[in-house]
Amino acid sequence: AGLRRSEAVALEVRDVATDGRAVTVRRSKNKKGRRVPLGEASAAAVGDFIRRLSDPGYVIRRISRGDRIERGGISGEAVRKRLARLTKLAGLDRVSPHDCRRTYCGALLEVGVDLAVVSRLLGHGSLQVTAGYDKRGEIAEAEAANLIRFPYG
């Protein structure tokens, strides 16, 4: 859903729609809450995961050394460290949680979602901030120019 680390770790079960199709971000950088819809595949996975949790609390939880899922949440720094460890184990280049946010933004822009809509989904206070995430470059500019059709000859 393109959430910031701090937003993701603050999500509680009550913040996920009962069908899993959206999350409500209550604790955001700009102090404004927002509702973020999830795509079908994400909604199915999130809905299934939430149904398997036996109690309310945080969505992203601590796991004890004995692989027991605990009720308490984790920090944004713990997310960063875990992602770094998993990407290293997978043999991938370094990936940060913010890379996931940038990828979400880029994927939306790539399929033609309006910059203002992407900005709202990301919780940006300015279109200029969202535009800074746009890394499509010259190929996208050439494709955009080719979309213009004239009624003449």
Residue 133 a catalytic site member: yes
Residue 101 known to be catalytic: yes
Catalytic member of 71, 81, 88, 98:
98
Grouping H, G, I as helix, E, B as strand and the rest as coil, residue 13 is: helix
Q: Which of 29, 35, 71, 88 is catalytic?
A: 29
Query: What is the residue-wise DSSP string for 17-49?
Result: -TTSSEEEE-S-TTS--EEEE--HHHHHHHHHH
Decide: 16 and 59 in contact? Cβ < 8 Å.
yes
Annotation says 58 is catalytic: no
Query: Is 4 one of the annotated active-site residues of the chain?
Result: yes
Q: Is 135 a catalytic residue?
A: no
Active-site residue flag, 124: yes
Write out the catalytic residue numbers: 4, 29, 98, 101, 124, 133
